[in-house]
A and B are shown apart, each in its own frame.
Chain A
Amino acid sequence: MHVRGLSVVLAAAFALSATGGARPTAAADPPEIVIGSVLPLTGSLAQTGAGLRTAQQLAVDLVNGHVSYPLPMVGKSGLPHLGHARIRIEFADSQGKPDQARAAAEQLITQSHVVALIGTYASSTTATASQVAERYGVPFLNPDSSAPGLTARGLKWFFRTTPHDGTFADNFFQFFNELKKKNKNLGIKRVAVVGEDGLFGTGASDAEEAGVKKYGYDLATRVAYTATTTEVNSEVQKVKAAAPDVIMQASYLPDALLFMRGYKQQGVAVKAIMAQDAGFIDPGFIRALGADAEGVFTREVFSLDIKHRNQAVPLIDQLFRQRFADKPLDGNTARDFMGVLVLADAIDRAGSTKPDAVRDALTRTNIPGKLTLMPWNRIHFDATGQNDGGVGIIEQVQDGKYETVWPFDVAVRPVVWPMPAWKR
């Protein structure tokens, strides 16, 4: 190409971008605020990603709409402090891969000029995407990744609303303490910590072991195993030999089933099995085990039982079902829905789309638990960007269903303690 030809093209491009930049102020419609969302829209996590996308879009539509619910920022026809500007959410695909998540975040920041980022579900992709946001100085809100290390990186622009695996482990011991006040003697001293040896299981087991020490229990044994194993004979024997009163376990479904059958077969008798959701909350868990699943405790991030605290829960569930093939709102979609509201709340209070102002507003977030869909005490970020008001739920399998038994103010059934003996 001629040098002169090139300069003409460049000039034209420059002129185009200049008019493009001038457009928003000249337009008569209320301004539009764009937030970027990085989610696994294709790949093995695509099904989860589709639900999260639906939940985030629903939250955006309710913020832009005029129907009011007991939730922050909903029904005010946009952001009042910004002239009722409407929010638009732009999605980019992480494919569930850390490098793709990084590229997606970069694209949203540099090309779509988003005000803030939200995402990305998997802890590994959140780690990379949030590094990009940090580099560009764009606020990043993470509603749904539970690896404790994410808020231990000293990032300035990273905020996480969901409690992490450390919080959930701590909840088990708080649960014991509160139960002791009711039952006097639980008869527990020795805790066995069992977990798969990936990021999830190791993080959960570390947090549980820390809790064992902090709350004055004895560590009976700690068993780490590889989740893809096809048999758990030696693992079960290790647990049995340690004679624990309680087992705390982090497993995926196939291994959770192997362990449960192994415990039964070898007559491992404990007062309680406290599980970190995953395999223990999979729909296949009760279906496969039937009566042998009775009495198992598992932590969960959300339950429709929270309707007893906030009547918005069934209403949002209804709206979500209409958009997502009648699938109910769950822990992931509810957290992502709330994440958008927290961002909207911060941008509105900032009264500006400048990154510094939005970040500043995020640090001053203080949303009472009763105005969320979650069991949380509140949404308020500590110095690391972690929500310090996060709490999990503990459910117990009773009569073949997961029933919320803790926190006691959202519980629908009393705790069955100890869990029943194995059926023959």
Chain B
Amino acid sequence: METLSTVAALLVGGVLTGLVFALVAVGLTLIYGVMDVVNFAHGEFLMLAMYATLGLALLGLGPLLGLPLVALALFLFGIVVYRVFVRRLLAGPPEATVFGTFGLLVLLQGAAQALFTSDYQSVPNPPLQATLHLGPIALSQATLVEGIGALVLTGALFAFVEYTETGRAMRAVAEDRIAATLMGIDVQRVNALAFGVGAACVGAAGALLMLSYPVFPTVGAGFALTAFVVVALGGFGSIHGALVGALLVGLLEVFGGFYLSPELKLVPVYVAYIAVVLLRPQGLLGRR
């Protein structure tokens, strides 16, 4: 009985953790899918979103009410970054986007350090800290809201890309940029929009994370690394692939940590990653 409830707790913990990983990763995969740019500053977008959430919370608007505002702010930030910066990188050789977005990472981290100091900061008295008991499973409201919120937003992004006119335009650009241009699609506009939507996703993730995590200038690194693994596992450019990859990472991490050792919990994750890269380089659900 004791072991059964442990397994149940690990299962629920792994799934909820995976869902948050998914929301962080979908923005990355969307941007890659549409314009072949790996945004190395993705984790720093998350960091900015967390600081924005903190700022709103200090003004009296909690993380959940602040979420739409933060997502909107990151959407606009994403569009500006694309228009001013990434668009020019795309005109250069393929390496330009790698070094360019990496430079953006360094710039944003340094700016955050200068503006906000390297201290850890959290939302004062965050809401939803009570514990729920569902049969043998205990979980905090915050964890549940984070997981469900991430699932809903990932689902919404999937529906947007699959079923709306703009989403179809994005997929068209992803498939064949030149053909899309010939069909009258404004590629620059679609790219900017995809960058904005990708940033908005990570913005929403940042707001949700502030329910249980502090923010500091390098907070993005840990989450971004996981996001890269998730995207590579699920398939670059695939949104449902990112969801599957994230759940896999969450479960492997949690069960690996318990049955091997917490220090080794990322070993199963990276073994799976290497196996996928070797046997199915396009990722579990990627196309090529």
Contact = CB atoms under 8 A, between A and B. Distances in A.
Interface of A: 44, 47, 197, 223-226, 228-235, 237-238, 240-241, 253-254, 257-258, 261, 264-267, 279, 282-284, 287-288, 290, 292, 422, 424
Interface in B187-244: 212-214, 216, 219, 221-223, 226
Contacts of A265: 131, 138-140, 143
B143 A234 contact: no
Contacts of A283: 119
B17 A233 contact: yes
Contacts of B257: 225, 233-235, 238
A422 B138 CA distance: 13
Contact of A261 (B2, B10, B140, B263): B140
Nearest to B215: A254
B138 A257 contact: no
Given A261-B212, A266-B9, A197 B263 contact: yes
A95 to B, nearest CB: 15
Interface in B244-282: 250, 253-258, 261-263, 265-266
Nearest to B113: A44
B18 to A, nearest CB: 10
A238 B264 CA distance: 14
B49 to A, nearest CB: 15
Contact of B265 (A234, A258, A266, A424): A234
B59 interface: no
Contacts, number: 114
B183 interface: no
B124 interface: yes
B121 interface: yes
Nearest to B143: A265
Contacts of B126: 288
B258 A284 contact: no
Given A224-B263, A237-B9, A267-B138, A230 B222 contact: yes
Contacts of A424: 130-131
Contacts of A254: 120, 213-214, 216, 219
Contact of B125 (A47, A229, A233, A290): A290
B181 interface: no
B147 to A, nearest CB: 11
Contacts of A253: 120, 214
B97 interface: no
Contact of A257 (B13, B118, B124, B212): B212
A216 B113 CA distance: 46
A197 B140 CA distance: 27
A226 B126 CA distance: 25
A341 B263 CA distance: 43
B23 interface: no
Which 8 pairs, one residue from A and one from B, show the smallest C-beta to C-beta distance? A234-B257, A233-B13, A288-B122, A234-B258, A225-B262, A253-B120, A233-B254, A235-B262
A290 B129 contact: yes
B226 A230 contact: yes
A251 to B, nearest CB: 12
Contact of A233 (B9, B124, B142): B9
Interface in B106-142: 113, 117-126, 129-131, 138-140, 142
Contacts of B9: 233, 237, 266
